[in-house]
Amino acid sequence: MPDSQDTLSNPRPASAGATVANSTAGANSPAVEFRNIDIAYGKFVAVRDFSLSIRKGSFVTLLGPSGCGKTTILRSIAGLVDISAGQIMIGGRRVDDVPIYKRNIGLVFQSYALFPHKTVFDNVAFGLKYRNVAKPEIRRKVSQALDMVRLPGSEKKLPSQLSGGQQQRIALARAIVFEPQVLLLDEPLSALDANMREEMRVEIKKIQKETGITAIFVTHDQEEALSMSDRIVVMNAGSAEQIGTPEEVYERPATAFVADFLGKANMLPGTVSRSEGPTIVTLASGQTVNVLAPRPLAKGSAVTVVVRPQKLSVGSASANRLPGRVVSASYLGGSAIYEVDIGGKTNIRANAAIDGRVLGEGEAIELGFDPDDCVLLDEAGQRIS
């Protein structure tokens, strides 16, 4: 189950898989809490009745496609977007009616937003100067922040003299130098190349752990969310579909949307053909598979069997075996991605270890998975529980 302070306190209907939570007061107050917020632009509602409680010191990611409301929610914490209804709390204090400069928020933008004419020192020290911090203390804090982002001795350089990754580190140093209560990261890695993104993921997570700061990260990149987060909030159309650990949302998707968006999944429609003892589902392709149903299901019920490509193996002794023919194959070194026609106009995707050689187009193949490797969705696309 999700942590009691990283929960949805008023999410979409319970069938969406979220856990209800009550906020606590005093020292146990959540670091950040959204209470039934709406954000509207005229008649368009970007965020609707969104509630979320985030525990102190955690790394929470808002994940979803463009236009789902994740960045709008992040900007509302910082005061860059006004909410239309509800409340935003930081450390038990309401802040949605507090000026931006009094919210004690650190924000790292997608574009870095460094001052090009200012040195690294002046960029990092910018927020401290506006807080009337004494000059000796500013020097100490800037030096400490640059050490933390692994760029000591860069105080006199201009942003133009730094690589993209180094500029992102400076933006991070500027955001944490005044020890904010909450660190907001708005798709900070999207402008970096693949190798640098991977390096910065590790660095950001390491710094977050070292400082103990509460971090809220926005991304549409599933790999970033899975590798960095303590909790993931999967967003869709201004609401939260599911919240949980990376393993929970990946292995036990609450809805068809979560299953398809987070890492993609094979959606195999079928009907329940037997529910006494092991539940058996007859797929649209004609094959029958054994599944683990959390409760008895009526015979003839329409269901969808969700299986991740990584759960499918080639030629194994799994309980469920799906024969078919290779439509396409992509070699990935130690594994291959197969698209397989299993009949009934149904293609499935498998990311499987290579057994001897990569099979070619048109060759016969048998894919297998065990009953506990899949999730069942009902006719409405909600996980059966």
On whether the CB atoms of residues 79 and 99 are closer than 8 A, the answer is yes
Residue-level length of the chain: 385
% pLDDT > 70, the chain: 93
Mean pLDDT computed over every residue of the chain:
89
**Domain limits, the chain:** 14-253, 264-377
- 8 A C-beta contact, residue 174 and residue 205: no
CATH class as words, domain 264-377:
mainly beta
Give residue 180's pLDDT. 93
Sequence letter at residue 98 = V
Does position 364 have pLDDT exceeding 50, yes or no? yes
* pLDDT grade for 110, boundaries at 50, 70 and 90: confident
This prediction's pTM = 0.86
Q: Are 217 and 61 in contact (CB under 8 A)?
A: yes
Phi-psi region of 277 (alpha: psi -120 to 50; beta: other; left: phi over 0): left
Q: In the numeric block, which tokens belong to residue 260?
A: 């398809």
Q: What is the pLDDT of residue 21?
A: 34
Q: What is the pLDDT of residue 27?
A: 57
Distance CA 53, CA 89 (A): 9
Q: In 3D, which of 184, 168, 207 has the Cα closest to residue 107?
A: 184
To 10 degrees, the CA torsion angle through 157, 159, 160, 164?
120
Looking at CATH, the fold of the domain delimited by 14-253 is given as: Rossmann fold (3.40.50)
The mean pLDDT of 335-350, rounded to a whole number, is: 93
The tokens for 321 are: 């075996």
How many Cβ atoms from other residues are within 10 Å of residue 111's Cβ? 12
CA angle 77, 81, 85 (to 5 degrees): 80
pLDDT band at 109 (very low <50, low <70, confident <90, very high): confident
Nearest Cα residue to 338 out of 310, 317, 371, 374? 310
* pLDDT tens-digit map of 135-171: 999 999 999 999 999 999 999 999 999 998 899 999 9
Regarding beta strands 59-63 and 214-219, do their DSSP bridges make them parallel or antiparallel, or are they unpaired? Answer: parallel
- Sign of the C-alpha dihedral computed for residues 322, 325, 330 and 333 taken in this order: positive
DSSP string, 178-221: T--SEEEEESTTTTS-HHHHHHHHHHHHHHHHHHT-EEEEEES-
The count of other CB atoms within 10 Å of the CB of residue 187 is 19
pLDDT for position 353? 84
